[in-house]
Structure 1
Amino acid sequence: MNILNRYLFIFITLVLLYSCSSERNTWTSKAYHNTTAHYNGYFYAREEIEKIDKTLWSNLKDDYNRILRLYPALDSSQAKSYDKEVQEAIKMASIAIQRHPNSKWVDDNYILVGRARFYSLDWGNAIETFKYVNNPKLTKDKDARHRSLIFLIRTFVEHKEYNNAQAAIDYVQKEELNKENRKNLLLQKAYFHQEQGDYDNMVRSLTEAVPLLKKRDKPGRIYFIIGQVYQKLGFEAEAYNYYKKCLATNPEYEVDFYARLYLAQVTEISRSKNVAAARKSFKKLLKDSKNKDFKDKIYYEMGIFELKQKNLNDAIVNLNRSVREGSNKRIDGEAYLRLGEIYYDTLRKYELSQAYYDSAIRSLPTDYEGYTQIKARAEILNEFVKHLNTIKWQDSLLAMASLDSAQLRARIDSAYQAKKAADEKRAGKKKKRSNRIEIDSNDNNNIFARTDEEGNISQEEEETTGWYFGNTSALSLGQTEFKRIWGDVPLEDNWRRSLRSSATAASNRNQTLQPDDPNQGQPTEAPAEPADPVAAEYDRVSKQIPRTDEQKKEALGKIENAYFNLGDIYYFKLLENDNAVASYTTLLKRFPESEYEPEVLYKLYLIFKDTDPSKAETYASRLKQKYPESTFAKILINPNYLQESSLAVEKQKTLYKTAYTHFENKEYRAAVRVIDEALLLGETSFVPNLALLKVLIIGDTEDINQYQFALDEFSKKYPESSLAEYAKKLLQASKDFQLSQEKRQGIQYIRSFEEPHYFVMVYRKEEKIFASAALERLNEQSFRDLRLKTSNLVFNDDYTLTLVDGLPRVSSAIEYFQTFNEKRSTLAELRNHKFYTFVITKDNFDIFYRTKGLDEYIQFFEKNYPAENQ
């Protein structure tokens, strides 16, 4: 029996060895190669591919604020984490192909090789592999060929080759597919459309695939995606049905939660009881302890729901709660955006809208749908609020300019106490949120926030400044303070503990790099609160109050510009004609001789041209009578003016060439004559070129000072011209040349003293002297009749100077110098500081400031002014 078994074993072994030959085509050979190729190479390669699939799905972070992805995204950094599995899959599949070339699993192994290359982002080889499998001469199994083409579609989509993907889809759709391939083709088509944002065709493909789905396809997730797409497209009844289907599959908890949340959103609201039922559904979700981490999303959806019901107040309340309750930055951004849209589109409160849009831009990712348009609107609102705040603040400063110091301090104290009371009142309401940081914005100039009759900050003001997360300045300050103390830490659990070792290492490195720092290792102290906040605010405001005529003119100029810009924003960007008219007319009333008047009159004419022709004609007549030579009047008189002026430009260019030829030949009179002839053709865009050529002629024919003056005037007259910058460079080059000449020849001050003087104080920047305040007090006490003006100038990198202008002659200059020396000890701001003082004529000051010859002038001053006055 043992001998028989031995012979039987030998026989079977010989048969198997005989069957192992890849060139045999017997039934035993086929069975052996099919079995071995399947359960060795193919099986293990498939296991590795399934591991990669699980890795990709486990790493997928679903964003429920967007339509969920049908498949996980691929990226190179993630591909490195499963490179071992990729190589193993390719190895095992390749072995099966090489050792069992006649088995029926060769095409399946090639598909696994293609998938492995696909997952490793080896697009070219993946595409070639899938195409190879599709060859009918090599692959007799049409289902395998179809499978390879479906994977080829996915590869084209991931590689953004959408035209090739469409061609492959068109080809496969014509084939007779089995149920599995039909389902996978529809899912790949849906993914193809999703990647291109074509949600209509995406949902068509998904709904067609629904009857073919199996449990392993995670149908609950696909139903949820279909519901999301229908909701986005506005088919809420269809969305409702698919959310219900999703819940019926008992999906994972997060999908279940969002399905229930969106189900309440798309419930058909036809009667009041349905509204109440929807609100009850939201409240039920809020009470469920499992939804603790989703409260921000629930409140957000409640806000959107109320917005659909036209309940703006409830919508605003819920959207604000959404931001306060959660930590999801994207949900915060969407809540800010919706609030910004409410205040912009419905309530027309652009200041509040600006605050929310600004916060939205900071919170939303740059790939958010419509981000470019959102950012553009935010920039418009930022500009709008900037001009609005300019008007408010400059008007406040001008009003305070009429107050003496006692009245000003009293007003600041009153405002401070009112704001303090309002802060305390708000703080009392927020005890339940005592762990939240409360920081007031400085955007509205601290204590000068808007208050009601009871001294409480107005509702709008409180929304933008009192609420921390509605206050962009507060957020920025809070983030800066957090980073100052803790550093730029990642958003993760136990971050304090995880950063201990790195913080210690960083501290050691700092000690190594900065051994001489006496403060190393010491915590940075936060700036101390001012002992007297009213005094600190008084100092801050007092410095900005325009007291001189020049300063008041500058403040009014800022208001004038702001009104003009506000009108333009209302008219061109916000499309608010009524508000544009209000801004323009206010500008004309407050500034009757405004440089903007011709343009404003023309815009008012355009606004009323169709709605109120008689009023439009009033503005047109005023423009033509008062500014007949302006471009806007000429356009009114002759609608073809701009076209005709282009002809004038061409004539001016021809004359310019002639004038320039005269200039090069030093025929200056002939050049000027031709330029004047060209200028007579009218004011065109080419006039600055002619004017600059005239300046260059002055440079060749007149004194260098006249040349510099002409260049400076050109820059002021044509600031918008592209030649203005070139003129400034010419002016600087001329001044540099003049300076080098003066240094080479030695500084020569003018010995003429019977002319207006300046009193000058020069001191080092680090001295930080409040010289202007001291000198203004001296002017007020001893030289009020002269109406002297005080100003500050940067002298060079080391020195700053303060000068007093308005001393009419040398005698008054000497008297001022003497008085200053006598009262120097009474000027508290100047005690314990070092500085130089002297008087100087205006002509000599030009030389002094240009040459920076401080030592030279002090010697000149000591030599030429009476010694007893020094």
Structure 2
Amino acid sequence: MRSAFYFLLLCVAFVLIQSCSPEKNTWTSKAYHNTTAHYNGYFYAREEVQKIENTIWASLSDDYNRVLRLYPTVDTALAKSYDKDIQESIKMASLAIQRHPNSKWVDDCYILVGKARLYSLDFGNAVQTLKFVNTKSKDPSARHRAIIQLVRTFTEYKEYNNAQSAIDYVSKEKLDKTNQKRLLMEKAYFYQEQADYDNMVRNLSQAAPMLRKKDRPGRVYFIIGQVYQKLGFESEAYNYYKKCLATNPEYEVDFYARLYMAQVTEISRSKSVNAAMKSFRKLLKDSKNKEFKDKIYYEMGVFELKQKNINNAITSFKQSVREGNNKRVDGEAFLRLGEIYYDTLRNYKLSQAYYDSATQALPPDYENYEAIKARQEILDEFVGNLNVIQWQDSLLRLSSLDSVGLRSIIDSAYQAKKALAEKSVGKKKKRNRIDIETTDNVFGNIEGSGNDESADWYFGNPSAMALGQTEFRRIWGDIVLEDNWRRSLRSSKAAVTNTASMDSTTIVASQKEETEAAPADPVGAEYAKVNAQIPRTDDQKKEALKKIEDAYFNVGEIYYFKLKEPENAADYFTRLLKRFPETEYEPEILYHMYLIYKDSNPARAEEYANLLRTKHPESTFAKTLDNPDYMKESNLANEKQKSLYQEAYASYQDGDYNKATSLINEARAIGVTTFTPTLRLLEILIVGKTDDISKYQYQLGEFAKENVATDLGNYAQKLLEASRTVQDAQTMKAGVTYIRSLNEPHYFVMIYRNDEKLGNMPTLTLEKLNTDNFRELNLKTSNMVFNPENTMTLVDGLPRVSFAIEYMKSFNEKLATLTELRSHKFHSFVITKDNFDILYRTKGLDEYLQFFEKNYPKEAE
């Protein structure tokens, strides 16, 4: 009996040994290889791939402000973290393929290898592996799975044409239910990657009934709800959010599903609105939602906006910013507020502030970020120009005050702030966000006003100051008095500051990071800051008025072309013409006014047209008015001039200046075009070759002035500087010669070596001298580098030689009492502006000192 048992055992062992051969095709061989391939190679390879997929899913950070991703993305850094798992999965699958080539798990192992290579970002080999299965496999289901995985691979590789071809091919095949579901999911992902949400949701909706627990149905239902909500099908979105909740998803998905359900509640009666708001309030009260309060308030704002409750929407969006710390939610709330103030309320100053905050908070990959950024830049430009008008007008008003009056005003403002702060000590409210609000400019709304009465000015109006203090407290809260008080806001979670209520110059100065110690005299520091910007001389006032003129024109242009508000554009253009009747912008403004009123008020439009024809008949705008094709014809003239210019320039290079001049004259006879300045510059170059160098330099200088801030003007300036450099070199070679005409404005100059380390002592000494003895001259003090070894300090504004000599005498008398300066070596002298140009170009200091000693009276020494 025992011998029979051993014989039977021996037979079974023999059969099993015979089954191990991969070439055998018996049922025992198949059973052996199928079992071994499945539970050894394939099983362990699948476990490794599953581990990799879990790692990839764990790396996904869902952004619930967007439609969630169906699948997480894979990047190089993440792929490196599971490289060992990749190698192990490929190794185990490859062993199963090599040792059990006839098993039914070979195709599955190849598909696992393809997946692993996809997750390792080895796209080329992944594609080849999956194509091999499709070509060689005899199992239709395996071939279909390989092609569906190929769709995913091409999608991840962004080869959408190949992915579409694979979709078209496999869609014609007869698929089992599992593969149908897989194909629908991969197609949905394919369309999501291309932002085709319509086709995405169609495929997901078809796949939804086939989903099983391992497919994360709650997440998929939520995504379907998000897409339907995005597309405007709110009832469908509501149904899928409800289905999502029925699957008991993870808490975050559950929260957002409930939040969005309230958002898409169908509103037909007031009780429905109340029900929706009740849902929001319920979510707010739930302690588990504490970290989501900002998002709840944001969605409440969106809901109120849909009901056209603008004020409630604004309140909710602001509350969203105050609650929580989600930068992206903040950015979206700021964006919504910016849109409300831009599109609905037309308050561009507030809109600019919110858009500015939105662009800082939102990531660059945010949907339509470029368009948001473009609008923010338009508003920045717009508000910046408005601030220039207000600030420069304020400075012009301040220019009529003496130093005592100015300091008194600044001191009053400081004391008012100090009293307010001291009154509110101990009552400071902590906030994590600051509202963006705007008031009139701190110096009052004085755009374009010519009234000098102090009642119109902020600090001269007690009512306005009281209102300002109240507004200050409302915006900034109750703060403890301290110098550089805005720095205290940086320690809080304040996201924005009031960028619309002050001039851009003061905003930059006040909000800049300050590392230096607080000034001992804050009033004095503020006085110095403001006083330095006040225009005192006629030239400075002209410069300020020019800034206002340019800003008015820019505001009108932005209103007309970018904000599409012609009536407001006309208002600013009218203000500009009234305040600056000689403005260089008049031809263009008259043309714009004609276009603005052309359809709405033809009679008024014709008035502007006649005015343009009368005052500026040769302007491009007048010619365009009478000939709409003028610009087209002008372009043709340009092209003809360019052709003649090329011939003229070739003749110029060949030295045939007469022919070049003749061709230029022929080109200029065609008419004045935008190419005319180029012809003029070539004329000047010919002068440089055929005429006196002084005439050449003069014409270059005039051309540079006429074409300032253009490429041609800059080029002419460089040519002029190069010519002067050559001339200076020749002068140096021949010897420096100074001009003996002394009856013109002078500079006082100190030149000292850098190693003397005088610091700001020369500047302080000369400024005190100016204040004590020459206040009425409004002298300016500045520093310049004379050469690598020496620095110079200049006093500008001495109108005649007699003043220059008197100044030099006063300096020499003062020097005896200045031990800090007296112990150092330096040269001091007075010099005319023309001679200073020669001195600075040639560096001929010794020559000038000899000239000075010889030509100026001894009293100047």
TM range (shorter): 0.7 to 0.9
> How far apart, CA to CA, are the structure 1 residues paired with 2:647 and 2:11?
112
SS in 2 for 1:690: helix
Contact 2:458 2:464 in 1 (8 A): no
- Select the residue among 843, 853, 856 that pairs with 1:852: 843
Q: Rate the CA distance shift 1:374–1:653 in 2: closer, same or farther, 3 A.
A: closer
CA distance in 2, matches of 1:641, 1:442: 46
What is residue 592 of structure 1 aligned with on the other side? 581
- Alignment RMSD, CA only? 3.5
Q: Structure 1 residues 90 and 629, CA, compared in 2 at 3 Å: closer, same or farther?
A: same
The alpha carbon displacement at 1:656 in A equals 4.4
Q: Is the CA contact 1:243–1:260 (under 8 Å) kept in the aligned structure 2?
A: yes
**1:838 equivalent among 803, 812, 829:** 829
2:131 aligns with 131
2:166 maps to 1:176:
no
- Does 373-382 or 810-819 show the bigger shift? 810-819
Q: Deviations over 1:19-63 (max 9, x none)?
A: 111122221111111111111111111111111111111111111
Query: Partner amino acid for 1:862?
Result: E
Deviation string, structure 1 residues 437-459 (Cα, Å, up to 9, x no partner): 99999997899999973624489
Q: 1:257, 1:661 → 2: CA distance?
A: 76
Aligned position for 1:47? 47
Corresponding residue for 2:19?
Answer: 19
Question: What is the distance in 2 between the residues matched to 1:100 and 1:657?
Answer: 79
1:205 counterpart = 2:203:
yes
The corresponding residue for 1:287 is: 285
Deviation at 1:109, TM superposition (A): 1.3
- Equivalent residue for 2:748? 759
The aligned counterpart of 1:79 is: 79
Partner of 1:486: none
Deviations 1:258-277 (A, max 9, x none): 11111111111222222222
Work out the CA distance in 1 between the residues paired with 2:819 and 2:260: 70
8 Å Cα contact 1:153-1:168 kept in structure 2? yes
Deviates more, 1:557-566 or 1:357-366: 357-366
Seen in structure 2, the aligned counterparts of structure 1 residues 110 and 771 have a Cα distance that, compared at 3 Å, is: same
Question: What residue is the counterpart of 1:237 in the other structure?
Answer: 235
Question: Which range is displaced more, 301-310 or 218-227?
Answer: 301-310
Q: Is the 8 A contact 2:354 2:436 kept in 1?
A: no
Aligned partner of 1:102 in structure 2 is 102
Decide whether aligned partners of structure 1 residues 144 and 674 sit closer, same or farther in structure 2, where only a CA change above 3 A counts.
closer
Counterpart of 1:577? 566
CA distance in 1, matches of 2:654, 2:215: 87
* Residue of 794, 814, 818 corresponding to 2:784: 794
- Name the residue aligned to 2:797: 805
- Counterpart CA distance in 2 for 1:281 and 1:685 is 65
What is the CA distance between 1:564 and its match in structure 2? Answer: 0.8
Distance 1:86 1:477, change over 3 A: farther
SS of aligned partner of 1:302: helix
Which residue does 2:672 correspond to in 1? 683
Look up the match of 1:743: 732
Query: How big is the shift at 1:617?
Result: 1.0
TM-score (norm 2): 0.88
Kindly tell me: are residues 436 and 353 of structure 1, through their superposed partners in 2, closer, same or farther at Cα, counting changes over 3 Å? Answer: closer
2-structure distance, mates of 1:449, 1:288 = 48
Distance in 1, matches of 2:114 and 2:353, equals 52
Q: Cα gap change, 1:400/1:755 in structure 2, threshold over 3 Å: closer, same or farther?
A: closer
2:429 and 2:477 in contact (8 A); partners too: no
The answer as to whether partners of 1:440 and 1:465 remain within 8 angstroms in 2 is: no
Tell me how far apart the structure 2 counterparts of residues 827 and 654 of structure 1 sit (CA, whole Å): 69
Structure 1 residues 683-741: Cα deviation after superposition (integer angstroms, max 9, x where no partner): 21221122112212332344433322221211121236532232122112112212222
| Letter aligned with residue 211 of structure 1 | P
Query: What is the CA distance between 1:527 and its match in structure 2?
Result: 2.6
Aligned to 1:252: 250
Q: Aligned match of 1:616 in 605, 610, 615?
A: 605
Cα deviation for residue 590 of structure 1 reads 1.0
TM-score by length of 1: 0.87
- Which residue matches 2:8? 8
Q: Distance in 1 between matches of 2:654 and 2:16?
A: 107
Task: For 2:44, give the aligned amino acid.
Answer: Y
Q: Hey, what does 2:852 align to over in structure 1?
A: 861
Displacement of 1:613 after TM fit? 0.8
The C-alpha deviation readout for 1:332-370, integer Å capped at 9, x for no partner, is: 211111111111111111111111111111111111110
Note closer, same or farther for the CA distance 1:851–1:96 as it changes in structure 2 (3 Å cut): same
CA distance in 2, matches of 1:440, 1:836: 56
Give me the whole-angstrom Cα distance separating, in 1, the residues matched to 2:516 and 2:373.
34
Instruction: Specify the code of the residue in structure 2 equivalent to 1:767.
Output: N
SS in 1 for 2:720: helix
* C-alpha distance 571-421 of structure 1, shift in aligned 2 (>3 A): farther
The counterpart of 1:155, out of the listed 149, 153, 156, is: 153
Name the aligned partner's letter for residue 804 of structure 1: D
TM superposition shift of 1:745: 3.2
Correspondence for 1:330: 328
Alignment partners' CA distance in 1, 2:606 and 2:826: 63
Shift of 1:425: 7.8
The 5-angstrom pairing of residues 238-317 of structure 1 reads 238-317=236-315
Q: Which residue does the alignment assign to 1:777? A: 771
Residue type matched to 1:630 in 2? S
For residues 603-650 of structure 1, the C-alpha deviation after alignment (integer angstroms, 9 at most, x for no partner) is 111111111111111111111111112111122233333233345445
607-616 vs 846-855, greater mean Cα deviation = 846-855
1:397 Cα deviation from its structure 2 partner = 0.4
Q: Does 1:453 align with 2:445?
A: no
Paired residue type of 2:116: A
**Aligned in 2, Cα 1:664/1:151: closer, same or farther, shift over 3 Å?**
closer
Moved more, 219-228 or 530-539: 530-539
Instruction: Tell me what 2:504 maps to.
Output: none
What is the one-letter code of the residue matched to 1:766? Answer: G
Alpha carbons of 1:423 and 1:388: their partners in 2 closer, same or farther (altered >3 Å)? farther
Q: 3-state DSSP class of the match of 2:82?
A: helix
Q: Kindly tell me: are residues 188 and 644 of structure 1, through their superposed partners in 2, closer, same or farther at Cα, counting changes over 3 Å?
A: closer
2:21 partner amino acid: S
110-119 or 672-681, larger mean C-alpha shift: 672-681
Alignment partner of 1:603 out of 592, 598, 615 = 592
- Note closer, same or farther for the CA distance 1:105–1:306 as it changes in structure 2 (3 Å cut): same
For 1:759 and 1:338, how far apart are their aligned partners in 2? 59
Letter in 2 for 1:96: A
The reply to whether residue 711 of structure 1 matches residue 700 of structure 2 is: yes
Q: Distance in 2 between matches of 1:221 and 1:728?
A: 67
Q: Mapping of 1:333-348 within 5 angstroms?
A: 333-348=331-346
Task: Rate the CA distance shift 1:208–1:615 in 2: closer, same or farther, 3 A.
Answer: same
Unaligned runs of 5+ in 2: 445-456, 494-512
Q: Report Cα offsets for 1:95-136 as digits up to 9, x if no partner.
A: 11111111111111111111111111111111111111112x
Would the alpha carbon gap of residues 541 and 5 (structure 1) be closer, same or farther in structure 2, given more than 3 Å must change? same
**Identity of matched residues, %:** 62
638 and 140 in structure 1: CA distance in 2 versus 1, 3 angstrom threshold: closer
2:532 matched to which residue of 1?
543
Q: Is the 8 A contact 2:645 2:663 kept in 1?
A: yes
Letter in 1 for 2:9: F
Which secondary structure state, in structure 1, belongs to the residue aligned with residue 759 of structure 2?
helix
How many angstroms apart in 2 are the aligned matches of 1:829 and 1:554? 38
